Amino acid sequence: MASYRSKTSSYITVPVFLAAFLGIGVIGLLAVSSSKRPNLKYGVSCEMVNVVNEFPHDPEAFTQGLLYVENDTLFESTGIYGRSSVRKVALQTGKVEHLHKMDNSFFGEGLTLLGERLFQVTWLQDTGFIYDRNNLSQLGKFTNPMEDGWGLATDGKDLFGSDGSSTLYQIDPQTFEVISKQVVTYNGQEVQFLNELEFVNGEVWANVYGVDCIARISPKDGKVLGWILLQNLRAELLTAGNQGIDVLNGIAWDGKQDRIFVTGKLWPKLFEIKPYPIEKTEGIIEKLCLPETLQFGSS
Ligand SMILES: *[C@@H]1O[C@H](CO)[C@@H](O)[C@H](O)[C@H]1NC(C)=O
Ligand SMILES: *[C@@H]1O[C@H](CO)[C@@H](O)[C@H](O)[C@H]1NC(C)=O
């Protein structure tokens, strides 16, 4: 069900979209290379993305957690009271192969897999859940030590979490105590509203609530190493008539094949993306990725 989209069309449509919809005017975005990572010697990197593949995604899924396991299989956590769930999803078809419906009193949030167990946090409550990855049966609960439950990820050893603030938490998966906390900053400015998280090549990638941006964060000191701009995905969905889509939310990484997947709440598609470096123009990150205030629905 995947379709290939040419690089040429992305190169043309993305800057046009940015200029037209965000009123930036001439932004002079320049593709340096479509295969190489940017050279960090010159500071924080900035990337845009080519869509390599598109897969169907349940348009009713209010995506709050996303991760790739193997064999073209994803795990996903969804929110909304009465509709919250943990699911095993086939990448190619978007088919939900297994679904655990949560109790109506919980709003599902970030999800991660550590060993054989899935860990999930919930919104506005300090209850977290642990599930068996093989059948999604609930194995236990834990107390989320963060202020709230938004994103969850793992480096294979500890849990990393976000609660909608600028803090990235490192959490012990046995005791659920906070091991360390980093304030995420870009050029000395705090990056608020950190949402869904994923470990990618030793970095923590976080999409920022309400904007189409991913911050690539150093888990050591919380510094933003780079930004990925994804405005072209929303533009494509809106152009195709999907007016009901909510925010970008959900990053998954297939480490073996180095594939990156993203989706959003109520998005009918899941995109495989390939970032490519661009030259960062003055003020573009502040404008696109660092909202000063937000009106909250739910994280
Ligand atoms: C993935 O596929 C392999 C080979 O078919 C199989 O042995 C393995 O159990 C599968 N893993 C999962 C998680 O389904
Ligand atoms: C789920 O799978 C585990 C093995 O991974 C098994 O021990 C457990 O009994 C299963 N639970 C249910 C409800 O089937």
- Ligand 1 pocket residue status of 134, Cβ below 6 Å: no
- Ligand 1 pocket residue status of 71, Cβ below 6 Å: yes
Give 12's pLDDT tier (boundaries 50, 70, 90): very low
CA-proximal residue: ligand 1, atom 6 (nearest): 71
The answer on pLDDT for 57 being more than 80 is yes
| Residue 168 within any structural domain of the chain | yes
Q: List pLDDT tens digits, range 204-246.
A: 999 999 999 999 999 999 999 999 999 999 999 999 999 999 9
Give 4's pLDDT tier (boundaries 50, 70, 90): very low
| Residue 123 within any structural domain of the chain | yes
Q: How far is CA 57 from CA 3, 62, 76, 269, in A?
A: 14, 11, 11, 5
Give 9's pLDDT tier (boundaries 50, 70, 90): very low
| Residue 77 within any structural domain of the chain | yes
Is the distance from CB of 183 to CB of 166 less than 8 angstroms? yes
Q: Which two tokens stand for residue 160?
A: 């990393």
| Residue 296 within any structural domain of the chain | no
Give 127's pLDDT tier (boundaries 50, 70, 90): very high
| Residue 297 within any structural domain of the chain | no
Residue 295 confidence (pLDDT): 56
Give 118's pLDDT tier (boundaries 50, 70, 90): very high
What is the residue range of 186's domain? 4-289
Q: Which two tokens stand for residue 122?
A: 């919930």
Residue 85 burial (CB count, 10 A): 20
Question: Could you tell me which residues come within 8 angstroms of residue 267 by beta carbon, excluding any fewer than 6 positions away?
Answer: 57, 59, 63, 237, 242, 245, 246, 248
Residue 299 confidence (pLDDT): 54
The helix (H) or strand (E) run that includes residue 9 is: helix 7-22
For residue 133, report the distance from its CA to the centre of ligand 1, in Å.
13
Residue 40 confidence (pLDDT): 46
Among candidate residues 156, 168, 266, the one with its CA nearest the CA of residue 216: 168
Handedness of CA 218, 221, 226, 228 (dihedral sign): positive
| Residue 151 within any structural domain of the chain | yes
Is the distance from CB of 64 to CB of 79 less than 8 angstroms? yes
| Residue 299 within any structural domain of the chain | no
Choose one of 67, 69, 71, 88 to mutate for the ligand 1 pocket test, by most ligand atoms within 8 angstroms of C-beta.
71
The answer on pLDDT for 46 being more than 50 is yes
Residues with a CB atom less than 6 Å from ligand 2: 132, 134-135, 137
What total number of domains does the chain contain?
1
Q: List pLDDT tens digits, range 269-299.
A: 999 999 999 998 889 999 999 977 665 555 5
Q: Which atom of ligand 2 is nearest to the CA of 133?
A: 5
- Global pTM reads 0.85
Q: List pLDDT tens digits, range 84-116.
A: 999 999 999 999 999 999 999 999 999 999 999
CATH of the domain at 34: 2.40.128.630
